[in-house]
Amino acid sequence: MPKVVDRNARRYDIADATLRLAAREGLEAVSIRSVAAEAGMSAGAVQKYFATKDELLLCALDLSDERLVQRWRELPGDAPLTDYLREALPLDERTREENALLWSFTARAAYRPEWARRIAASYRELHDMLVAALGGTAGESAETSEGRSVDDLAHAIIALTDGFAHRMMQHSPDDPEVEGLLRALEHAVTVLLTTDPLLPSGPQGQTGPVTTEQ
């Protein structure tokens, strides 16, 4: 196995350990030492890959993003938009870890502008991907009511998904309340997709596939 692959695999093992630890005990529990213990490595071995706690955390956030995109790639091409949204929600242990990390980052970004920029950039990418999937062009036609509507709709769908994910985090994945919240999310998305009077192509239903190619 070429050395570079080996190096990446090792980085991801460490990032995975960081993600597990941060979800279980919070960002403040993350250190080179604690992550090394979680990964079953020596602190010196971890430091060959990551010099600081912040590098560890950013790599864990990247890993979390990549896992989501990987799940999206595995969906059938004609899956409805709500199937894509579902993958971002804390509906099992794994996605709960990812969400816990995301909310911890947000909390920290409130007083760390460079983290806020990292998160904002990732949202911008997600937004533009969603605008394209909805059949619009982000920004370009922002002056027309149509362009604005697709931009706004994409923002709204992202916000709904985040807001419901935030609610679901207050319950364990098997709490019946989570099912009700999921239904409310899907209902709201359907209403927005089918009845927004400003959408360029009129009522669209909920069947348009979302491409996740980057």
| Site of interaction with a copy of itself (CB under 8 A) | 23-28, 96, 99-100, 103-104, 106-111, 116-117, 119-120, 123, 148-149, 151-153, 155-156, 158-164, 166-167, 169-171, 177, 180-181, 183-185, 187-188, 191-192, 195-197
Tokens representing residue 112 in the block = 């760390």
For the bound state, the minimum distance from the C-beta of residue 39 to a copy of itself, rounded and expressed in Å, comes to 19
If the CB atoms of residues 42 and 170 are measured against a copy of itself, the closer one turns out to be: 170
35-44 long-range contacts (CB < 8 A, ≥24 apart) are 39/13, 39/14, 41/14
For the bound state, the minimum distance from the C-beta of residue 8 to a copy of itself, rounded and expressed in Å, comes to 28
For the bound state, the minimum distance from the C-beta of residue 86 to a copy of itself, rounded and expressed in Å, comes to 14
Contact 26, 107 (CB under 8 A): no
For the bound state, the minimum distance from the C-beta of residue 78 to a copy of itself, rounded and expressed in Å, comes to 25
If the CB atoms of residues 71 and 108 are measured against a copy of itself, the closer one turns out to be: 108
If the CB atoms of residues 2 and 113 are measured against a copy of itself, the closer one turns out to be: 113
If the CB atoms of residues 45 and 119 are measured against a copy of itself, the closer one turns out to be: 119
If the CB atoms of residues 6 and 177 are measured against a copy of itself, the closer one turns out to be: 177
Contact 43, 33 (CB under 8 A): yes
CA dist 180 and 71 (Å) reads 23
CA dist 81 and 5 (Å) reads 34
CA torsion, ordered 109, 91, 24, 172, to nearest 10 deg: 110
For the bound state, the minimum distance from the C-beta of residue 125 to a copy of itself, rounded and expressed in Å, comes to 13
DSSP 186-211: HHHHHHHHHH-TT-TTS--TT-----
